[in-house]
Structure 1
């Protein structure tokens, strides 16, 4: 009997073991299938990203203008193009961002940037000095301005992108001409000069300093001061013929503090005292030129074309030469700069060249400045040389050579006949000016010629990628998409290779002059990828089937929320049809979001079947979302076109620092309350939220508190000593710790960490109520706390890791905005669950609108001037790749990155572990691709209207920067979503939950 029992027990164990092995095998197969499906999705999205990046690249090449530089070099021996020099030496001092009103008296003003640099205006009252308003050409970035100040040509918009990559100038310029005449050039300060003119500057007299650390006000200026006075000493004057000094303190004070800060007064006073000392050291035969390369706006930034950014300063002085002052009737009248004449910045190029006996650079478009020539005869001679140079340039330039010939011949004839007649000199000068002005306007028109072929190719590629993205996201059922991923991959690879071969063959046979090999291959690759996507769809389904799928979607899945989502997308797209709407995009986005908040409020109030507690909670979530959206909309960094109807509130002040410290405790408490709603505040959650998040947010607040103390006027104005070196080192340490923990250590720990669940054992009360002395075995029941939100609670911790790093590189009010963004996201997730709209297309669209709203509320606009370059130096003292660039990217696009991380939560929030993880993954992909579709649609609309309005007066001020923002979003968000939320975040959570709870 015992033997039979033993044998039965053995058989039972074997059967149980076999069943366990079969279950493990099934689980292993499921996990392997999940990994393969996941890998397929990632590869498909990578190919889609490649196509969209190619489309953006083609459009950008056609839209962002470039200039064909003529290689010719002017020569004194050609057409007798030089005149005897008036000066033997020149000292050129560039005070970066010296706005014109910084240098002239402004009565009654108490601003720190007024009346603290008086020496220029004082000397200009004499006959041996002249002070002029110096009008820059946009873009007002230093590299482009230096190109214009040395070559006399106009930069195109694409040049702005190379401001941090100063390539050697490959066109004629007066620095090159000095070198040709064996003149020695000393250069001190901004290292941009070294990058542009390294072949021409005397290496023994070159002292460059890093120019892009805008938080450093003194290193460059102190370096110039250290070296300039020894070079001005009598014993070393013979070592140089032209001395260039480029000061950056004023510009950096503006970038860091704005023009209204006490630091601006200190820098202007320093420049004033320095100039007095330099003038005392000058020789009689030396020309002193002091200039700004651009101005700055009310925030201290530059790059655009507002009046404050364009108005700079030009001052010229000589100890014994008189200048030909203009009559006051020739001067403009304005609030800032009354009775001061204005000249174009490119006019300095022929002026310097003629004064130093150089030929005018071949590509110059400027005209000599009247004041520096002491009489009308000299001015007529300068006009003659200028017209000769302009004509030489015109006859070598396509589309210009046949124009204005008669005007040129008329001027030459008049100069030949009347050049010695004093009474006709003024007429000759006026005729020359008209010729130069007409030439300049023609060149501006010529360089505004867009390559429509590349623009259309780019738009076509983006449109075709969008059609598949729409089909992939919504038309094909998500379950079928998961089974087709590898069909897409094989087809795409095959068709991509075919496209490359065909495009290469076409290039070899046709050899198109205006279409390079790279462009041909990119076109073939894009076409092959798109055809490769559509081939499996057409093989598996027909267009008729897809059409019916779309109709079924609208008939059976379409409701008021779907209609609202489509309405928001359509409204956002048509914004780009008007420059006024683009300017006020931030307010329109807020209106869309508040409207959706009221839709949710109404939806919860009328929803039947909800318990009373759930309904009250839903109403509170909707009201919270509406309130936070309204508060966020009140944080403004007004762009120039919004004034005076917009009052900027995005400022750093003591109360914003206090709010930042308060949020250190408020945000973790709010997140904890949301976790408690689903019983998920267990295991990893208290460590991440109660300890880690709170500590890192405190570090962020401490960083910005120290920064506020360093920037405070109070300590500077009252001469209270603060060890700036110690505070700077402490701030660098804090920033590095937070970014390292937030982006690396916390994410690594999260990838290895546990889920936010807890196993709790409980006993039945009836079994416990036994007699005191009775010994019984009381059965226990196991409960898994947090089981109902096991996916979402764990994944949300990843979002917090990145959010806290992004908050660090965001200014205080911007960090407060991101705090509200996180609560808005959690409120929306609860509303999506209550209203059962997590699968509705409106869900990811509202997340996309949230990203845009917080882009604006973190101190950004679709303008170059709004880029917060100074944030790049939070973790480094100089430019260090990739840290400097990473800071700026996180600062600019941080809200979009947080929203991209939150998109999987639409599916994962408040769902129990599924025995069909592929279905969960498919729903995540649907929401991700819907967000990418929204970004692509709005981006394509922006590009289309930018191309349509390419001749619009506001194209470079409004439409071009907005298209650039759209292009960057398409590129960055595709890359980020694939790498972080999908490959790293979703993959880890879904596979871990499936491994633990899967069946």
Structure 2
């Protein structure tokens, strides 16, 4: 008996020892995987830091603000003021009041919603007490930038436009400041941008600001202005103020939310007409009324660019007892819808209103007084003299401006001194003054933004150096990749980064350069230190010749026709930035690239012989699906102004788009389930995520946009359910619930959840046992062949649902097609053996660009969908408002970034070499980053090259800004979510369960 126990204990001891050894090997393998993973993350973090520094330097060099002189004008200097013509002024800004909104249109082109609904201004201008002018804005047409121009008389800059949503105090001379200096009381109500800019000058007891950025709110600001303006116009309250400013936003918000072609625009214009009629009835004889628009709006209701519709706004001036000087009646002819109507620049309002109120003209002003408000030519000559004195003073103290106009100014002064009282010389003097101002303005426009070529060059240089390493790292030979994972390599990067910081700090302390601040010196030192730290160990370990030969051999072995196609796409995409026409039509070029790849796959499958007939049919179906959806997506577009009339916008909310959204609630999950069933992976977490969760969240999304359509539709206007007080909170609640579940609850559950596999037991007849009737159980793991991909794809769905929530219906439909395209691509890559090919991540990148355009975006300021920021909040609330806008704008890029690891993970069994799997994922991630970096660097280079181009601020600058943001956002996102959160969890979990 004892011998039997000894014999049985021996095998048990051996088995136990083998288990211990297996566990030890597993722990070592997991530890090695963790160290390797950490090394990859550190390398990518340093690379992202370098690229972000490069973008920062270029941006600081390219988007500098103009030089602002701190001087303040004073009446005592050159006797620069004239007696005030009015005691008080009421200035009403109707935001986005396009000029054709206020003039009569009586032909077939008239639109019932925005034509002939605001007749009061034109009717009053038919008398000599009123004047109506076309008011031309300087681009970019954003509200804060326009208010700066309307109060300072200076030219705009792109940085001003970028600050539209983070306004700050104006630090240059303006007529609001001049009023404050003369102890005038300023009352202000409406758009809170006035408070941001002029809070120090407005009477605090008469300041009533309202939140201005919720473009879905048409009434709060306007109702606030109405509530406070009429009590102040009462006789007993008039003594409290000298200038009353009211800024209405309803017309602008109606345009942003619905576009001008909507009944809400008609209601707003009618309301403004009634309010102004009441305001005029309350005016005193010594009060000047000024009604103006700060900009117009394009056919979609947006603004920010320089199309005619955005630039042509309205200026109306009225007085009960003063008459305006309309010398040439033909200037006010509204035939041809006002195309030849008298027009003035918006900056001309600054010297005009300053002189009318007895103020000195602001020091930095570039405008010229408006003729019509001064009663005769003698008065016009006098104000021309005051205006040119101010312009000459400004020019003589601005070093960037030439002295070529000095002779013109001296000639005017001489003629004014000799003939200033001779009426026969009035027209000549006025004409010469206008010529001087026009020439000065044109010169200043050519210098409106000062480019710092040093910073631009440094930015491009840093980005180029980072790209050289990124190119090597993305498609490097294995020996180089492995060497960069050692702590010696990472230590080198950290050490050289610190050394660069110390050296740059020392240089700054010793040399004290005037052109560079401490932060700039440290940034340069850190970037160069990181780059040197990257290359030093590689150059030390491998000779240049060996690297070149190995790289050539590596690419020769891995390069084929598909690789060439991918390389061709990247080069072509990078070169389009050399032409403004190609940049304008970038959306069509991206679609062409994708459709070309789809046809290439169809051809490749047709001639491929080493696959079965079933695989060929399946592959062809995926290739055709991918190509058709690429074509369908290209049909959803928001045309930029330069594309008209060759482009018809289709990105609009209609009943059928909302209906399609409901259909997608059932169609997309069915598509995804069919892909999962191909690999027998629809088990465990998959039914809950796809069959239940995805359908529910997509249904809630469709309900939200249905309610939004009902609220906005002409058909439902006035019906109780469309105007119900419950509608708005219900929409907010749905959006909040969907985003909370998709971004927080679902991701947390995914990180703790199981893999999409199922253990299935089968009974088999052993034939040699009497126990259990000769039956023996065997286990089969369902979903084993796609254990990585099926689980990881659920993470992609989490973010996709959130992005669909903040995307308008047609954009969400495009994202539905994107998900099917991604799955079809993954199947194609498997059949065509392209998962390790250069073209694989590049096509994903192109899909990101195409869906950026098909979700209603362009590389323009006007296409930013600011209203989406208020999908979950009624006011600006950090970070939710900002998160909505980021998800809406860059959602397609975030989806394809999340899907990049699937190129490696889709349809592979658990690997006994997880580090190899991780290495291939890093290859695809860095290849995508390389593609974005190449197109981004090309965009920056050509923006710098064309910095004096006529279209620089309209085409090249917005496109480089998009490239810079993509470089920053994708670097951060790819490291944190797809790599650390997604790949780290899936690869580690599979290795722990199935590790060998």
Question: If the TM-score is normalised by the length of the shorter chain, which range does it land in?
Answer: over 0.9
Q: Distance in 2 between matches of 1:111 and 1:521?
A: 60
1:151 aligns with 2:152: yes
Pick which of 707-716 and 462-471 moved more: 707-716
Unaligned runs of 5+ in 1: none
| Structure 2: distance between partners of 1:765 and 1:560 | 52
Instruction: Answer whether contact 1:479 1:919 (CA < 8 A) is retained.
Output: no
Give the corresponding residue for 2:556: 555
Residues 869-917 of structure 1, C-alpha deviations (whole Å, 9 max, x = no match)? 0000000000001100100000000000000000000000000000111
Contact 1:189 1:208 in 2 (8 A): yes
Deviation at 1:340, TM superposition (A): 2.1
Match of 1:461, SS?
A: helix
Task: Determine the structure 1 residue equivalent to 2:736.
Answer: 736
Deviations 1:659-709 (A, max 9, x none): 000000000000000000000000000000000000000000000000000
CA–CA distance in structure 1, aligned partners of residues 160 and 9 of structure 2 = 81
Cα distance between partner residues in 1 of 2:391 and 2:829: 67
Deviation string, structure 1 residues 305-354 (Cα, Å, up to 9, x no partner): 11100000000000000000141455688843145200000000000000
| Contact 1:98/1:294 (8 A) holds in 2 | yes
- Asked if the contact 1:140/1:302 (under 8 Å) is kept, the reply is yes
Q: Which residue number in structure 1 is paired with residue 86 of structure 2?
A: 87
Query: In 1, distance between residues paired with 2:938 and 2:885?
Result: 26
When residues 766 and 618 of structure 1 are mapped into structure 2, their CA distance, relative to the original with a 3 A threshold, is: farther
Query: 1:111 Cα shift?
Result: 3.1
Distance 1:609 1:864 in 2: 50
CA deviation after TM superposition for structure 1 residue 715, in Å: 2.3
Partner residue, 2:688:
687
Find the counterpart in structure 2 of residue 52 from structure 1.
51
Q: Does the Cα contact within 8 Å between 1:328 and 1:339 map onto a contact in 2?
A: no
Cα RMSD over matched residues? 1.5
How many residue pairs match? The answer is 994
Map of 1:515 onto structure 2: 516
Give distance in 2, aligned partners of 1:25 and 1:260: 71
TM-score (norm 1): 0.98
Cα distance between partner residues in 2 of 1:287 and 1:880: 39
Deviations 1:809-854 (A, max 9, x none): 0000000000000000000000000011100010000100110010
Give the alignment of 1:69-218 within 5 angstroms.
69-108=68-107, 109-218=110-219
Contact 2:103–2:334, Cα closer than 8 Å, also in 1: no
Instruction: State how far apart, in whole Å, the 1-side matches of 2:914 and 2:749 are.
Output: 24
Deviation for aligned residue 1:549: 2.2
3-state SS of 1:204 partner? helix
The answer for the alignment partner of 1:926 in structure 2 is 923
The Cα of 1:775 is off from its aligned counterpart by 5.5
Is residue 44–residue 488 contact of structure 1 (8 Å, CA) maintained in 2? no
Q: What is the CA–CA distance in structure 1 between the aligned matches of 2:333 and 2:951, rounded to whole Å?
A: 24
- Quote how far apart the aligned CAs of 1:482 are: 6.8
| 1:783 has 2:780 as partner | yes
Any conservation in 1 of the 2:65–2:450 contact (CA below 8 Å)? Answer: no
CA distance in 2, matches of 1:881, 1:862: 25
Q: Does 1:17 align with 2:11?
A: no
Q: Which residue of 1 aligns with 2:817?
A: 820
* Structure 1 partner of 2:25: 26
> Following the alignment from structure 1 to structure 2, what is the Cα–Cα distance between the partners of residues 787 and 12?
31
Residue of structure 1 in register with 2:611 after alignment: 610
How far apart are 1:237 and its partner, in Å? 0.1
* Residue deviations 1:215-234 (CA, integer Å, cap 9, x gap): 00000000000000000000
Q: Distance in 2 between matches of 1:859 and 1:326?
A: 47
Correspondent of 1:935 among 932, 936, 941 = 932
Q: 2:671 corresponds to which residue?
A: 670
The 5-angstrom pairing of residues 610-649 of structure 1 reads 610-649=611-650
- The structure-2 alpha-carbon separation of the partners of 1:261 and 1:285, relative to structure 1 and needing over 3 Å to count, comes to same
* 2-structure distance, mates of 1:100, 1:483: 63
Deviation track 1:496-519 (CA, whole Å, cap 9, x = no partner) reads: 111111112222222222222211
User: In the alignment, which residue of structure 2 is the partner of 1:337?
Assistant: 338
| Contact residue 483 and residue 489 of structure 2 kept, 8 A | no
Shift of the alpha carbon at 1:556?
1.2
User: Residue 37 of structure 1 aligns with which residue?
Assistant: 36
Q: Identify which range, 42-51 or 437-446, moves more after superposition.
A: 437-446
SS at match of 1:137: coil
How many Å separate the matches in 2 of 1:369 and 1:689? 66
Tell me the secondary structure at the aligned position of residue 42 of structure 1. Answer: helix
- In structure 2, the CA distance between the partners of 1:997 and 1:824, relative to structure 1 (3 Å rule), is same
Worse-matched range after superposition: 129-138 or 30-39: 30-39
Number of the residue aligned with 1:752: 752
1:325 pairs with 2:330: no
Question: Does structure 2 retain, via aligned residues, the 8 Å contact 1:475–1:546?
Answer: no
1:708 aligns with 2:709: yes
Q: Aligned in 2, Cα 1:702/1:192: closer, same or farther, shift over 3 Å? A: same
Deviates more, 1:162-171 or 1:4-13: 4-13
| 1:488 and 2:485 matched | no
Residue matched to 2:239: 238
- List alignment gaps of at least 5 residues for structure 2: none
SS in 2 for 1:431: helix
Distance 1:867 1:367, change over 3 A: same
Q: What SS does structure 2 have at the residue aligned with 1:781?
A: strand
Alignment of 1:248 onto 2:249: yes
Q: In 2, distance between residues paired with 1:96 and 1:166?
A: 17
Q: Distance between the aligned counterparts of 1:918 and 1:263, measured in 2?
A: 59
CA contact (8 A) 1:791 1:989 kept: yes
1:13 deviation in Å? 2.5
| Alpha-carbon shift at residue 483 of structure 1 (Å) | 5.8
Matches within 5 A, 1:288-299: 288-299=289-300
Question: Do the aligned residues in 2 keep the contact of 1:478 with 1:922 (CA within 8 Å)?
Answer: no
Q: How does 1:472-621 map to 2 (within 5 A)?
A: 472-477=473-478, 480-481=481-482, 484-621=485-622
Among 801, 806, 809, which residue is 1:804 paired with? Answer: 801
Q: Residue deviations 1:396-416, cap 9 Å, x none?
A: 111326342222221111111
SS of residue in 2 equivalent to 1:630: helix
1:478 positional shift? 7.2
Matches of 1:281 and 1:158, distance apart in 2: 40
Q: TM-score w.r.t. structure 2 length?
A: 0.98
Local SS of the residue matching 1:463: helix
2:986 equivalent among 980, 989, 993: 989
Q: What is the aligned counterpart of 2:874 among 851, 872, 877? A: 877
Give the C-alpha shift of residue 295 in structure 1: 0.3
Deviation at 1:553, TM superposition (A): 2.5
Residues 371-410 of structure 1 aligned to structure 2 (within 5 Å):
371-400=372-401, 402-410=403-411
What are the superposed Cα offsets for residues 399-437 of structure 1, whole Å, 9 maximum, x if unpaired? 326342222221111111111112212211111111111
Would you say the 8 A contact 2:155–2:448 is kept in 1?
A: no
Please say if 1:726 is aligned against 2:726: yes
- Looking at structure 2, the residues matched to 721 and 362 of structure 1 have their Cα atoms a distance apart, in angstroms, of 55
CA contact under 8 A between 1:459 and 1:943: conserved in structure 2?
Answer: yes
Q: 1:719 to 1:6 in 2, by over 3 A?
A: closer
CA distance in 2 between counterparts of 1:120 and 1:135 reads 17
Could you say if the C-alpha distance between residues 597 and 535 of structure 1 is closer, same or farther in structure 2, counting changes exceeding 3 Å? same
1:761 equivalent in structure 2: 761
